Amino acid sequence: MEVLIVGAGSMGTWFGGAVDADVTFADVDRDAASAAAEAVGGDVADLDGSDRYDVVCVAVPMAHVVDAIAAHAGRAERAVVDVSGVMGAPLDAMAEHAPELETASLHPLFAPERAPGSIAVVRDEPGPATESILEALSARRNDLVETTAPEHDEAMETVQAATHAAVLSFALAAESVPEGFETPIYAELRRLAETMTEGTPRVYTDIQRTFDGADAVAAAAAAIADADADELETMYREAAAKWHDGRPESDRFVRSDANLRGDNE
């Protein structure tokens, strides 16, 4: 099977090495495409080329995925897939620009260097080509999490947007403390802040622009700041009931906190 990967960043490179196919990379940065091809033993194609492939995988930032599908879906003979991190808009674009082809949206919930991990999957128009790709990913010990586009995109408001906003807010608000003053909770938040800020700022910016969630974190923080003692106790009990009486449904998209920096770089 021949696969064209549009986008030669870390996620496109990971995908090229994870599928059992002959892969070709196309990118606005031809040097990046060459580096990705060298890394996984693939080829390089012009971004505006006309050659056709069994599968086109769009591996560009989520802000550009719809335009990329519109531009490159016509180069696919059997299937179009994406690994952008958002699902509703790409699948709508595939339905418009590749109505006769197999389509699927995949969201690896990890940074490529932390593979394998959980991969959210929507088999929108399944078939042999997309099944072959998913089988290859599963064979590499990735956990395929079947979902729908609305369920996934709503979950990402919590799993990504709200979570990142909370960690980044702590990272910005926290001050240095004397050695030995750390509590277990502070130490864990510091570790998360250090891990998150090792990532790519553009990735986190795209997530905040795509998914709601940060406003809810801001509202909760404001409510805590304004609360009296009784109100704070009530908030604490509400939080305890949420997290101990029944974990949020979005937890099924999370393999482990080691995958925090997994936002489709």
Mean pLDDT across 171-180: 92
Q: DSSP assignment of 167-191, as one string?
A: HHHHHHH-----TT---HHHHHHHH
Structure tokens at 124: 């929108």
**Is 94's pLDDT higher than 60?**
yes
Query: What element of type H or E holds 67?
Result: helix 65-72
Q: What is the pLDDT of residue 259?
A: 41
Q: What is the pLDDT of residue 248?
A: 60
Q: DSSP assignment of 74-123, as one string?
A: GGEEEEEEE-SS--HHHHHHHHHH-TTSEEEEEEE-S-GGG-S-EEEEEE
- Give residue-wise pLDDT tens across range 42-81: 999 999 999 999 999 999 999 999 999 999 999 999 999 9
Cα first-last separation, the chain:
25
Q: What is the pLDDT of residue 250?
A: 57
Structure tokens at 7: 């986008």
- Spatial distance between the Cα atoms of 50 and 30, rounded to a whole number of angstroms: 16
- Give residue-wise pLDDT tens across range 176-218: 889 899 999 999 999 999 999 988 899 899 999 999 999 999 9
- Spatial distance between the Cα atoms of 221 and 218, rounded to a whole number of angstroms: 5
pTM for the structure as a whole: 0.88
Q: If you average pLDDT over every residue of the chain, what do you get?
A: 92
Q: What is the pLDDT of residue 246?
A: 65
Q: What is the pLDDT of residue 189?
A: 95
Q: Where are the beta strands (DSSP E) in the chain?
A: 2-6, 22-26, 43-44, 53-58, 76-82, 102-108, 118-125, 143-146
Give bridge partners of residue 107 from the DSSP assignment. 120
- Spatial distance between the Cα atoms of 237 and 91, rounded to a whole number of angstroms: 40
Q: What is the pLDDT of residue 260?
A: 41
Q: Which domains does the chain have, with CATH numbers?
A: 2-147 (3.40.50.720), 156-257 (no CATH)
